[in-house]
Amino acid sequence: MQVSAGGLVSALMGVSNFKTMWVGWPGVYVEEGPDRDALTEALARENYLPVYLDPRTVDLHYNGFCNSVLWQLFHYIPLNLESKLSDTRTLNFQWKAHQEANRKFAEAVFDDYEEGDVVWCQDYHLMLLPALLKARYPKMKVGWFLHTPFPSSEIYRTLPVREEVLRAVLKADLIGFHTYDYARHFVSACTRILGLEGTPEGVEDNGSLTRVAAFPIGIDPERFQRALERVDVRSHIAELLNRYAGRKVMLGVDRLDMIKGIPQKLLAFEEFLEEHPEWRDKVLLVQIAVPSRTDVPEYQKLRSMVHEIVGRINGHYGTLTHVPIHHLDRQLSFHELCALYAITDVALVTSLRDGMNLVSYEYVACQSDNAGVLILSEFTGASQSLGAGAILVNPWNITDLSAAIGDALTMTEAERRERHRQNHMHITIHTSQTWAETFISELNDTHVEAELRTKHIPPQLEMDCVLRDFTRSKQRLLVLGYNATLTTAVEAPRQPKRHFDQIQAMTRVAPTVYNSIASLSNEPNTTVVVFSGSDKARLDETFGNLNVWLAAENGIFMRPPPDEVGDQEDWATMGEVPKKEWMESVQLVFDYFCERTPRSFVEARETSVIWNYKYADVEFGRLQARDLLQHLWTGPISNAPVNIVQGSKSVEVRPVGISKGLAMQRLLLAMAERNGIEACDFDFVMVAGHFLARDENIFTFFEGVQVKPAENQGRHLHHHQMHHRQGQATLSVLPETVEGAEIATASQLSGTSPGRPPTQTTQSNRRPARHSSAHTGPLLLHSHHRAYLREQAAQLDDRMQRRSIDGADGTFASDSDRDIEITSSRSAPETSYSMDSGPSRPSMSHSPLASAAPAASTTGGKGDSPPHQQHHPHSQQHPHSTRWRGRHSAEGPSANTHHAPTPTTSYSSFSSGLPRPLELPPLPMKLPPKHLYTCTVGRNRSQARFFVHGSTEIAALLAELADASSLGYY
């Protein structure tokens, strides 16, 4: 067996503290039979596990895709121009062979793998291996290390299979590079090509973090020092010193490769001899060019070029007794190379692009006595490690390289020894053993951290369990998201290879999904709800003819299914119609940034505006998004009742108090009113969607967790303070004072005349709400909901008492009025509210009740306000002075009644004497239900119980459920 040449072999030979099994190609192909078994057994004794690849696969995989495509690209050599169709087909064959070779390696690993083993994949030949290993064993510890440079994203993106290769590598737990520059280029490629998020730790893909770090490789310096102590090596050193006596020896040891810069080295030496005639008989360059890939035409051409330059220099500057260049086209033995290192005065490493180049390390290890000078190319990875003691050069600048040769030959001994001391200290500390131990230790730590993160990741949804519980249940509720759940997610920023019509088709519901939903919605005991942030028109277009409940724009608008005779109701507003004064100014800001950010676009909906940059350059889009937020905070929304929702590649401005959990709570009440409480007693609930984090309270709502204003940010006031320090703005959001309103009594809900004074209720006899809601009020419900409210309110009469409101009472509008508005006050002074107070929105969260200060002022009549509010242009937006006035219907018993003035309290500071929250009737179902499946689609950082990879799995699940329903398996 013969040891291969190269820095990777040199480094890995120093790894000795691990029980290692080497998996690799043995260099020959042996047919199955006794000969292969004998070779396998002989290699196993040396801890080698062979992977037998047939000659065609080796040629297409190793010589083809690895060396002709990946190696060239990683060393900044452009891909060959494919001028013929056969060249394109050849590349396809090479890619398939590369995939097949990686599969062979994976099968070999599986045969020898035991739980707890660490699999360390080496170099660009096995970039697909991490994905194959993780597919079989998700908890396997997998690391991958690249021993070449990794190019900038602009170079790497020319690779035809760029996405497939990157995604396969990212399945590894830890990815290592020689230098920080290479790691930075890799993260940038993942960000710009895949649209993933780059962090200081690595690359994050929807909650899964792949650690990316720099691990400078080293050698085993003691191995070289032990070799120098051998008798035969010392004898060879003495022989070389005698032969080269009186001359300075310069040495170059390279593979005969295009990126090693051998021609540049020879040209610089030629210029040095031309400019310094005095050195022509005093200096000698020994160049060892180890042959590689001798059958490749480009390498044959390079060899001819090198021989031509060597012959020209020796012919011009040589004499009968001396030639300036000794050129060898062969590989030296290890001990011969150590002796040559020891007698060399100057080592020349002029690589045009090199991952690390360990020749420089080997030279320093053998120079303890001589303290020779190292001339090192700045394009090698070693330049970042040995740059302090070496002379760094740009090999493309022949003049500077020639000057560096002169400086090295004339350098004083003191400077030489100081430079050598720094380099020798580095190679003795950062050895190959240290490199391996550091990588393995970091891999173990990364794997532990990944396991800790996965504890917070929901498990994969098991369709068999869903199907079983679905068929056994009596009443089912299916709540489905629209975008990226029923449609295909189109998130990749680089989609020019797809036609626009294809992208548009991906954003539509597939016919199979549509048919499944249609089948499920026609089942009498199955209710289907489709939630979407999109507008009403899109949902109408897709599901307008189906028997499903639709919720558009994150639940602001709701449309029930057609009734029994097929009549379709109009869209209804779930809550108060938000103010829209801010939308025009926000639209202008978004349009401005849309012009500044190519491939970004603006979505204007009825109640929100979204700026999306998922097709733009990711890095530039994020910079623009930060700038956009600064513009919004300091301008259009500084005093507006809106929330900013930041998606992965979007910025949305929507009214406060909007979330899917809050809308689902209201939607259940509407279902109960329409279909009856019994029909809404769901014992099976499945909620699946690709929701933003702020909308995931729809998951926790079904768990029985109260939807709080703090979760949906349904606060009615936002006090923004912008502090400009050193040209940067920071946002401060202060908490609001008013958090709720009085619980309405049953008599008020049933329309009792306001002339009858309710009984005063003190804090001590107030009962806590058994079912409370976090509606941001005033709650606006359509007239067909009010009958249900009054029916449920009658059940509260035996539990609740009327409340006195300082001589005024709270009434609800009659059925003729479209909106229900609540006037709230207490015997103790409280804050009053106003529906038309601009950005002021009452929030319905719980808060402890305490005594409040006496009322500051009282006003009468609709539209009046306290004096201090009249003088302040933004008084109704101030967090310490908010009004909520009641409006009564023009019909009913109270139409012509003169009402008492509505009391108003203004607080000068935050007070704990806050009103009680509004309580809606109890929900018509038990929470959590007997069978609950909350599923996050594509986002594994979630509060859901289960995780689903994408819309394809949702489509398969819906098809299974539809088939089970149609066959009557319940």
Q: With bands split at pLDDT 50, 70 and 90, how would you rate the model's confidence at 736?
A: very low
- Distance between CA atoms of residues 550 and 529, nearest Å: 6
pLDDT for 530: 94
pLDDT band at 533 (very low <50, low <70, confident <90, very high): confident
List the single range of 255-264, 286-295, 369-378, 481-490 with lowest mean pLDDT: 481-490
Q: Is 823 exposed, middle or buried (0-12, 13-18, 19+ CB in 10 A)?
A: buried
Alpha carbons 40 and 26: distance in angstroms, whole number? 9
Q: Mean pLDDT over residues 917-941, rounded?
A: 79
- pLDDT at residue number 259: 92
Q: Which pLDDT score is estimated for 864?
A: 39
10 Å Cβ neighbour count for 601? 14
Report whether pLDDT(720) > 60. no
Q: At 923, is the pLDDT very low, low, confident or very high (cuts 50, 70, 90)?
A: confident
Residue type present at position 341: Y
Residue with the larger pLDDT of the pair 915 and 311: 311
Of the pLDDT bands very low, low, confident and very high (cuts 50, 70, 90), residue 970 is very low
More confident position, 839 or 705? 705
Q: Say if CB 550 and CB 558 are below 8 A apart.
A: yes
Integer angstrom CA distances of residue 69 from 93, 236, 761: 13, 42, 82
| Mean pLDDT, the chain, integer | 76
Mean pLDDT confidence for 743-771: 34
Cα torsion angle, 832, 836, 838, 841, sign: positive
Task: Round to whole Å and give the CA distance between 65 and 79.
Answer: 11
pLDDT in tens, 587-607: 999 999 999 999 899 988 888
Question: What's the DSSP call for residue 431?
Answer: -
- Those residues whose C-beta lies under 8 Å from the C-beta of residue 6, and which sit 6 or more positions away, are 255
In this predicted structure, what is the pLDDT of residue 617? 84
Predicted pLDDT of residue 752: 36
Burial code (b: 16+ CB inside 10 Å, e: under 16) for 483-502 equals bbbbbbbbbebbbeeeeeee
Instruction: Tell me the C-alpha distance between 171 and 128, whole Å.
Output: 9
Whole-angstrom distance, CA of residue 324 vs CA of residue 312: 11
pLDDT for 12 = 65
Q: What is the arithmetic mean of pLDDT over 71-85?
A: 79
Q: Which residue has the tokens 């053998």?
A: 366
pLDDT of residue 739: 29
Of 8-17, 304-313, 463-472, 669-678, the poorest mean pLDDT is in: 8-17
How many C-beta atoms surround the C-beta of residue 415 within 10 A? 12
Percent of the chain beyond pLDDT 70? 72
Range 168-194 average pLDDT: 94
- Own/partner pairs for 88-95, CB < 8 Å, 24+ apart? 90/64, 91/65, 91/160, 93/60, 93/64, 94/60, 94/61, 94/64, 94/65, 94/68, 94/69, 95/65, 95/160, 95/161
- In this structure, of 37-41, 109-113, 800-804, the range with the lowest mean pLDDT score is 800-804
Whether the ω angle into residue 778 lies within 30 degrees of 0, i.e. cis, is yes
Distance between CA atoms of 946 and 933, rounded to whole angstroms? 7
What gap in Å lies between CA 392 and CA 349, rounded to an integer?
Answer: 10
pTM of the entire predicted model: 0.70
Give residue 182's pLDDT band: very low, low, confident or very high (50, 70, 90): very high
Residue 904: is its pLDDT beyond 70? no
Give the pLDDT band (50/70/90) at residue 666. Answer: confident
If one compares 502 and 81, the residue with the highest pLDDT of the two is: 81
Question: What is the average per-residue pLDDT within 224-235?
Answer: 94
Percentage above 90 pLDDT, the chain: 44
Q: Are 629 and 643 in contact (CB under 8 A)?
A: no
Per-residue model confidence as pLDDT tens digits over 447-471: 888 877 766 778 888 989 999 999 9
- CB under 8 Å, gap of 24 or more: what pairs does 378-383 form? 379/351, 379/352, 379/353, 379/354, 380/349, 380/351, 380/354, 380/355, 380/356, 381/149, 381/178, 381/179, 381/182, 381/216, 381/354, 381/355, 381/356, 381/357, 382/349, 382/354, 382/356, 382/357, 382/358
Mean pLDDT over 473-487 rounds to 90
Task: Read off the pLDDT of each residue in 82-102 and give the average, rounded to a whole number.
Answer: 82
With residue 543 as reference, give the H or E element that holds it: helix 536-543
- pLDDT, tens digit, 9 for 90 and up, residues 4-29: 655 566 556 656 667 788 899 998 89
Q: What is the DSSP string of 236-305?
A: HHHHHHHHTTTSEEEEEEEES-GGG-HHHHHHHHHHHHHH-GGGTTTEEEEEEEE---TTSHHHHHHHHH
Distance CA 779, CA 788 (A): 15
Whether 882 shows a pLDDT value over 50: the answer reads no
Structure tokens at 826: 């207490």
Nearest to 221 by CA among 366, 416, 434: 366
DSSP letters for 730-794: EEEEEPPS----PPPPHHHHTT--TTSPPPP--STTPPPPSS-----SS----HHHHHHHHHHHH
| SS3 state at 422 | helix
Q: How confident is the model at residue 833 (pLDDT cuts 50, 70, 90)?
A: very low
Is the per-residue pLDDT at 942 higher than 70? yes
Q: What integer pLDDT is reported at residue 15 of this predicted model?
A: 62
